Amino acid sequence: MDPIFFTTPRMIFRKFEIDDLDSLAEISSEEEGSRYVGDGKPLSRELTELWITRSRLNVDVFGYGTGAVTEKSTGRLIGWAGFSRPKDQEEEIIYGLAQSRWGKGFGSELLAGLVIYARDQLKHEELRATVDPKNVASIRMLLKQNFKLSDDRYLGDPESHLYTMRIEQASPTVYKT
């Protein structure tokens, strides 16, 4: 299996490598960047290593999962993205970038790539994303890609909004494969 899932004009989305641990641990330890991910707390190095191991296994078993996002111009790991399978819930699109890349269009470019990848390679019919309603930047990106708010109290939680998109409604920005 090709370790590269797709590329965008500025990024490569690929399978995690064991060597990604230091860079991913640095990103996943950012307090501000972790605020809207999982329980809102930064991950320890040990949990980051477990995440890489499980993500690699998911890719081997299912053909996709979460992986590394690297910047083409530097080769540096700048984030993570992919598709998670929360226990007893449907699959969700997820993404996160190093704070140093916020506000520069990387998130929108990455999300557009994930939408196209899900449509063209994975043949998904619907995409889902859960978002804290205070995460205005993520909500703006999802709306730009034609996601719609489906539930403003997902699983009864007022701090979890569910956004969905029928894949035939996908009209994301173009990226190179």
DSSP string, 85-129: --TTS--EEEEEE-GGGTTTTHHHHHHHHHHHHHHHTS--SEEEE
Distance CA 168, CA 54 (A): 30
Domain ranges of the chain: 4-169
* Residue pLDDT, tens place only, 32-89: 665 556 665 668 889 889 989 999 998 998 888 899 999 999 999 999 999 987 777 7
pLDDT reading at 177 higher than 50: no
Distance CA 79, CA 66 (A): 11
- Residue 27's pLDDT band (cuts 50, 70, 90): confident
Backbone torsions φ then ψ of 81, nearest 5 degrees: -165, 175
Q: Using an 8 Å Cβ cutoff, are 150 and 163 in contact?
A: yes
Beta bridge partners of 82: 66, 94
* Residue pLDDT, tens place only, 124-176: 889 999 999 999 999 999 999 999 999 999 989 898 999 999 987 555 554 44
pLDDT of residue 70: 97
pLDDT of residue 85: 76
Distance CA 78, CA 33 (A): 12
Indicate the DSSP class of residue 8: -
Distance CA 158, CA 70 (A): 33
161-166 vs 77-84, strand pairing mode: unpaired
Specify the CATH architecture of the domain 4-169. Answer: 3-Layer(aba) Sandwich (3.40)
Residue in this structure with the two tokens 């307090």, named with its chain if needed: 31
pLDDT of residue 174: 44
Mean pLDDT for 81-102 is 85
Mean pLDDT for 9-17 is 95
Mean pLDDT for 11-37 is 83
